[in-house]
A = this chain, B = another copy of it.
Amino acid sequence: MPHSRAETLKFKTITVADLAFPLREGGYSKGRRTREQILHAALVILVSEGYIAMTMRRIAAACDMKLGNLTYHFPTREDLVRELLEAVVTAYEIEFDNLAHMEGVPPEDRLAEICGLILEDIRTKKTTRIFPELWALSNHDKFVLDRVQELYARARGPLLEIIKEMRPDLDKASIEDLALFISSSMEGLTIFAGHEKPFEPRMHVYEKIAIQSFVDLVRSYTPEDE
């Protein structure tokens, strides 16, 4: 029964404009709306101006709100950052979980489909801008590191299934090695062919290359004895 966790998750969260919020009981109160507005404003600043520019004052100003009120909803900056990270990452998780539920389609095609969707996402402004910030942050913040790696683990889920289907002979470790390599290989394209990056116009070529390369790799991979 795959994806059950994902579906559970979906039913427990609400996604609003690129952010996923835990769906608490009780009506859609004013406070909740304000919190979401704040997190959304923070996200917009993060994407458009970067993490350094994402100050409490700037977020408050973007919400047309006084600083004091912002700290009423998020007592410390860390609270806000953590909650934003959670909402951003959860939104990606939901997005990934929605991928590739294609029954009766050959695994190669599903692999191609999934890679296409991921590379499409990488080319969006939001993804191109946010992930490098997360990578940089995760170098000095264990919380961010863990949460981001958890996201990627989730994103590798569909890949694992496809690879297992293509190569039932492989042991679990090798399947995971392949999935990680494939996933990481695509992530690398963020820097070169992401939004407004110099090689963005050739992303369609890299997509072809990637898919061909990944299919061949999975088909032909023979792990060495360790």
- Mark A residues whose CB is within 8 Å of B: 49-53, 128-129, 132-133, 135-140, 145, 148-149, 152, 177-178, 180-181, 183-193, 197-199, 202, 205-206, 208-210, 212-213, 216-217, 220-221, 223-224, 226
For this complex, 30 residue pairs linking A to B, each with C-beta atoms less than 8 Å apart, are: A52-B52, A128-B139, A132-B135, A132-B136, A132-B139, A133-B139, A135-B136, A135-B190, A135-B191, A138-B191, A177-B206, A180-B199, A181-B189, A181-B209, A184-B185, A184-B189, A184-B192, A184-B193, A184-B206, A186-B188, A187-B188, A187-B191, A188-B189, A205-B226, A209-B221, A212-B217, A212-B220, A213-B213, A213-B217, A216-B216
**Considering only CB atoms, which chain B residue lies closest to A191 in the complex?**
B135
Q: Known pairs A132-B139, A133-B139, A185-B188; list 9 more (Cβ under 8 Å).
A: A135-B135, A135-B191, A145-B198, A180-B193, A184-B193, A184-B206, A205-B223, A205-B226, A212-B217
**Considering only CB atoms, which chain B residue lies closest to A218 in the complex?**
B213
* Number of identical protomers: 4
- The docked-state distance in angstroms from the alpha carbon of A137 to that of B11 is 37
Q: Are A139 and B129 in contact (CB under 8 A)?
A: yes
**Considering only CB atoms, which chain B residue lies closest to A72 in the complex?**
B67
Chain B residues within 8 Å of A189, by CB: 181, 184, 188
Q: Are A181 and B206 in contact (CB under 8 A)?
A: yes
Q: Are B50 and A140 in contact (CB under 8 A)?
A: yes
User: How far, in Å, is A30 (CB) from chain B's closest CB?
Assistant: 15
**Considering only CB atoms, which chain B residue lies closest to A53 in the complex?**
B140
- The docked-state distance in angstroms from the alpha carbon of A189 to that of B190 is 12
Chain B residues within 8 Å of A212, by CB: 217, 220-221
Which of B136, B188, B213 is A188 in contact with, Cβ under 8 Å?
A: B188
- The docked-state distance in angstroms from the alpha carbon of A128 to that of B210 is 24
- The docked-state distance in angstroms from the alpha carbon of A220 to that of B212 is 9
- The docked-state distance in angstroms from the alpha carbon of A177 to that of B192 is 11
Q: Are A213 and B216 in contact (CB under 8 A)?
A: yes
